[in-house]
Amino acid sequence: STSSFFSSIKMRCFTILFLFSAIVAVALASNVEEVISQVVEIHRLRPQTGSAGYTVPQLDCLSWRLAVETNNLQNWKLVPKECTNYVGHYMLGKQYRRDCEYVAKQAIEYAKALKLGGDGKDVWVFDIDETTLSNLPYYARSDVAFGAIAYNNKV
């Protein structure tokens, strides 16, 4: 009789614990969008945050930029309209400056590592014909929209 009493208490405790777990699970599931937005900030490069198909904002623009930078997207003419803000924030933000500084540093390291003949006949040609040192002022103009508006050579 004592054993059946303890079995009954165990069963009731299990039932209460199960119901409590179910209530907690439902409460947490109702907050899923808030949790997903927090995860998005941490994992920007994940294509989706879960099987429900919640997409990461700006993912397409990150992918577009990567494709352009790696020359996997060729013959493109315009920045996609939905990426205008993304490109603008990149070019006006700290990352663009860091990227430019890194490229310049690598060019300097390359130049320092060259083995010169020592006879004074070595020449370094720095050709900037038809090249600007920075396109940033042009791309920041409202009539260009960071490359989302087609170039107008008549202006």
Instruction: Tell whether 56 is covered by a domain.
Output: no
Instruction: Tell whether 100 is covered by a domain.
Output: yes
Cα–Cα distance for residue pair 136/28, rounded to 1 Å: 46
Which DSSP letter does residue 133 get? S
Q: How far, CA to CA in Å, does 115 sit from each of 71, 105, 110, 111, 112?
A: 30, 18, 10, 9, 8
* The pLDDT value given to residue 150: 81
Could you list the residue range(s) of the whole structural domain that residue 137 is in? 77-155
Instruction: Tell whether 138 is covered by a domain.
Output: yes
* The pLDDT value given to residue 98: 92
Instruction: Tell whether 65 is covered by a domain.
Output: no
Q: What's at 27, amino acid-wise?
A: A
Name the nearest CA neighbour of 136 among 67, 66, 89: 89
Instruction: Tell whether 142 is covered by a domain.
Output: yes
Instruction: Tell whether 131 is covered by a domain.
Output: yes
Instruction: Tell whether 94 is covered by a domain.
Output: yes
Q: What is the pLDDT along the chain (155 residues), one digit of tens a residue?
A: 566 666 777 777 777 877 777 776 666 655 555 544 544 444 444 444 444 555 555 557 888 888 988 999 888 888 888 888 888 888 888 888 899 899 989 989 998 998 888 888 888 887 776 666 677 887 888 888 888 888 766 65
Q: What is the pTM of this model?
A: 0.51
State the total domains in the chain.
Answer: 1
Alpha carbon of residue 29 to chain centroid: 27
